[in-house]
Amino acid sequence: MITTITFFAIALTAWILPVTFKIKRIIYRRAEPDNRAGAKTFSPVEILYVLPVLAVLLSNEPAVMFGTAAAAFLTVFGVLFASRPKASDKLVYTPEIQRLLGITYAAYWLIAILGVYIGGTYSVGAAVVWLTVFAVLPPALVKTAGWINDPIEKKVQQRTVEDAERLLGTMPELTVVTAYGSRSAELLRNVSEVLAERFQLLASSSSDATKLETARIINKQLKSHHDIFLTEIKTGEEQAVQEIFQAAGRQILIYSGEKLPENMYESIPEKTVLIADRNSLQISPEEAEEKSRLVTFALDRQDADIYAEDVEKDTRGIYFAVKQKGHDQSFSVYSDGRETASLVLAAAAAALASGMTFAEIEKAIKK
């Protein structure tokens, strides 16, 4: 009896190894659809799972059945582990992944317990067959766990977004600065460096921010002492992310593309200030003057709110003076190229829209 229990424990431990490995591999593939690591759900080595079944059919000895099963499970695990593809990234255990793993592992713990019960109550052979069958089924179990987890995820995600909106509603003095378009990540870095001269900032480190990821950052990191929250928005998520910010006290939206999408200005909320390159706007100077929620910048147009004058080029880059429309003050800046210079002007425009003085902007940029 003791020998049988020992062999059963060894077989059960060996069974856990390939099952756990396959579950993680399948979930990695679900989480990273562009990465082909673990794309195959069945490996040729898993044909060895026939051996425990044959042992049950050909032998009545528990030691033989459990020993054969343990050997098959360990061999399969060893081959799968040794031949695993090298993934470019490790699996990130997000809350969704943790819940999916939790449901799947809970199902397999129940299967293991039932296997022990079957072996102790009915027959050792039935327990071996039971474990062997479920060693082949992680893909189906993970898929089933995903179905179970989907409604849970939807409720959790909805609550996460609602919590973020509620938190923003308690901070009427907070300004939300969002950026998207070409070179938006670099633009956001420039803006954060300038705004840090005067404000307490929370800058999102995510360059691929979705609505849910943005809500999580707000819930976990945004504090009452923050004056400004800055984030880059993933392309295609602009409208979804903006919905979270409807409860914010003030919004500044910076567009860094070459051509402003049609109707974009008209579609943004009333309390949102749009910052864009003057050359990207398909409107007349008169129309721009009428749009109080619009702040523009430009390298070569003096009808922008922040513009460059006295631009000089040399082999290293360009020198120019940053100037605010309608004011005499200006300060000189060096940049390694026109694109970088344009980002400097955009950061100055964002600082102007945030309430910084021209002197503060000069001090921040010169740093």
Q: Is 320 helix (H, G, I), strand (E, B) or coil?
A: strand
Residue predicted with more confidence, 34 or 307:
307
C-alpha distances out from residue 103 to 14, 99, 133, 297, Å: 21, 6, 19, 52
As a whole number of angstroms, the longest Cα–Cα distance in the chain is 98
Domains of the chain plus CATH, in order, are 2-156 (no CATH), 170-366 (3.40.1190.10)
Residue 36 has pLDDT above 50, yes or no: no
Of 140, 159, 131, give the one whose Cα is nearest residue 18. 131
Instruction: Read off the pLDDT of residues 80-127 as tens digits, 9 standing for 90 and up.
Output: 888 776 655 566 677 788 888 888 889 899 998 998 888 888 888 898
292 φ, ψ (degrees, to nearest 5): -70, -20
Residue predicted with more confidence, 184 or 141:
141
pLDDT band for position 207 (cuts 50, 70, 90)? low
What pLDDT was estimated at residue 294? 82
Q: Is 106 helix (H, G, I), strand (E, B) or coil?
A: helix
Token pair of 239 as six digits: 């409208």
Instruction: Read off the pLDDT of residues 40-67 as tens digits, 9 standing for 90 and up.
Output: 567 788 888 889 889 888 888 888 888 8
What pLDDT was estimated at residue 75? 92
pLDDT band for position 159 (cuts 50, 70, 90)? very high
Question: What average pLDDT does range 194-221 have in this prediction?
Answer: 83
Residue 14 has pLDDT above 80, yes or no: yes
Tokens 């799972």 sit on residue: 49
The interaxial angle of helices 124-135 and 62-82, nearest 10 deg, is 10
What pLDDT was estimated at residue 367? 76
Tokens 């200005």 sit on residue: 265
8 A C-beta contact, residue 240 and residue 264: no
54's enclosing H/E stretch is: helix 50-58
Which residues lie below 8 Å from residue 48, measured CB to CB, with a gap of 6+?
72, 75, 76
Instruction: Read off the pLDDT of residues 326-360 as tens digits, 9 standing for 90 and up.
Output: 888 888 888 888 888 888 888 999 998 888 988 88
- Where are the extended beta strands (E) located within the chain? 175-180, 201-203, 228-232, 250-255, 272-277, 294-298, 306-313, 318-324, 330-335
Supply the pTM of this predicted model. Answer: 0.68
Which residues lie below 8 Å from residue 342, measured CB to CB, with a gap of 6+?
277, 297, 299
236/217 Cα distance (integer angstroms)? 19
pLDDT band for position 37 (cuts 50, 70, 90)? very low
6/1 Cα distance (integer angstroms)? 9
96/277 Cα distance (integer angstroms)? 39
Instruction: Read off the pLDDT of residues 271-300 as tens digits, 9 standing for 90 and up.
Output: 788 888 887 776 665 665 566 678 888 887
What pLDDT was estimated at residue 38? 43
Q: What b-and-e string marks burial along 120-149, b requiring 16 or more CB atoms within 10 Å of the CB?
A: eeeebbebbbbbbebbbbbeebbeebbeeb
What pLDDT was estimated at residue 110? 92
- Where are the extended beta strands (E) located within 185-271? 201-203, 228-232, 250-255
What are the residues facing 296 on neighbouring strands?
276
pLDDT band for position 206 (cuts 50, 70, 90)? low
124/158 Cα distance (integer angstroms)? 47
302/20 Cα distance (integer angstroms)? 64
